[in-house]
């Protein structure tokens, strides 16, 4: 009887100690790591990108972003100031900063010589780039639809998008067939149609993920830049 009591007592002590040690180990493991302001800011914007692409700008709140990151609402506001500014940060710092002509010029791809670049080659580069960032394409598509509302923070941005794209691309010395004259004289309708077709294909790709975005664009390229006119300028 005495031995049994001693064994029982020993087991109970071990269990209590195990629980205590386990608790201490868990406390050590779950110790919160302090992140730098830059790391936390990146987390906030990453969460905003995810949520906006899932629900739209109108479907989320600052509190939703805070919950996704695991910090307070005030913690989020420390980095973004307000919801509209958060949207501007997401759009300008995430979507609009990659896949640029400058990125293409440094890619070493055919047609990427910055002194004589080929516009169709750049568009192929851009489509390939977008095919690797589905969430960013979804973000853009959702915001584009939402911005039809005149009260949307990006309404003017999207309303002026085609003019902005034309002005931006016109900064570069793209090579064009002499039959078209100059870039300024003959390319504005081509640029507009290229963007319209790209937007449409990307929307279809978001709905049907098994679609090969690059292959779909290749078919449209032959319509936008027909042979033999563009053969030497692709």
Instruction: Specify the CATH number of the domain 35-86.
Output: 1.10.10.60
Residue length of the chain: 234
Express as a percent the part of the chain with pLDDT over 90. 78
Question: Does residue 1 carry a pLDDT above 80?
Answer: no
pLDDT at 95: 76
- Work out whether the CA dihedral 162, 164, 166, 172 comes out positive or negative: negative
Rounded to 10 degrees, the C-alpha dihedral 41/43/48/54 comes to 170
Report whether 118 contacts 174 (CB < 8 A).
yes
- Per-residue pLDDT tens for 104-120? 999 999 999 999 999 99
CB distance 158 to 147 below 8 Å: yes
Tokens of 194: 């290229």
pLDDT at residue 94 is higher than 90: no
Answer yes or no: is pLDDT of 7 > 70: no
Residues 6+ apart with CB under 8 A from 2: none
Query: Alpha-carbon distance 121 to 104, whole Å?
Result: 9
- Which of 15-24, 69-78, 93-102, 154-163 is the least confident region? 15-24
Measured between alpha carbons, how far is 214 from 128 in angstroms, rounded to an integer? 6
Residue 26's pLDDT band (cuts 50, 70, 90) = very low
Residue 23's φ and ψ, nearest 5 degrees, are: -65, -40
The pLDDT confidence band at residue 32, using thresholds 50, 70 and 90, is low
Selection from 126, 138, 42, 132 nearest residue 89 by Cα: 42
Nearest to 216 by CA among 190, 197, 231: 197
In the predicted model, is pLDDT for residue 68 greater than 50? yes
The pLDDT of 124-153, averaged and rounded, is 94
**What is the rounded average pLDDT for all residues in the chain?**
87
Report the SS3 class of residue 192.
helix
Cα distance between residue 183 and residue 222, in whole Å: 19
For residue 53, give the nearest of 159, 173, 135 by alpha carbon.
Answer: 135
């Amino acid at each position: 009887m005495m031995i049994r009591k001693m064994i029982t007592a020993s087991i109970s002590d071990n269990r209590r100690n195990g629980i205590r040690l386990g608790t201490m180990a868990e406390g050590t493991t779950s110790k919160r790591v302090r992140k730098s302001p830059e790391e936390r800011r990146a987390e906030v914007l990453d969460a905003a990108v995810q949520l906006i692409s899932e629900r739209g700008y109108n479907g989320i709140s600052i509190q939703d972003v805070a919950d996704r990151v695991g910090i307070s609402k005030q913690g989020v506001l420390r980095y973004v100031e307000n919801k509209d500014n958060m949207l501007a940060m997401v759009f300008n710092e995430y979507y609009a900063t990659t896949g640029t002509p400058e990125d293409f010029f440094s890619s070493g791809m055919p047609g990427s010589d910055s002194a004589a670049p080929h516009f169709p080659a750049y568009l192929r580069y851009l489509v390939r780039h977008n095919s690797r960032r589905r969430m960013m394409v979804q973000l853009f598509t959702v915001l584009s639809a939402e911005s039809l509302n005149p009260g949307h923070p990006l309404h003017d941005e999207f309303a002026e998008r085609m003019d902005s794209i034309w002005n931006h691309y016109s900064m570069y010395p793209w090579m064009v067939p002499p039959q078209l004259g100059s870039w300024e004289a003959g390319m504005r309708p081509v640029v507009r149609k290229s963007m319209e077709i790209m937007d449409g294909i990307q929307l279809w790709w978001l709905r049907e993920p098994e679609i090969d975005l690059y292959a779909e664009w290749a078919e449209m390229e032959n319509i936008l830049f027909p042979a033999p006119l563009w053969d030497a300028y692709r």
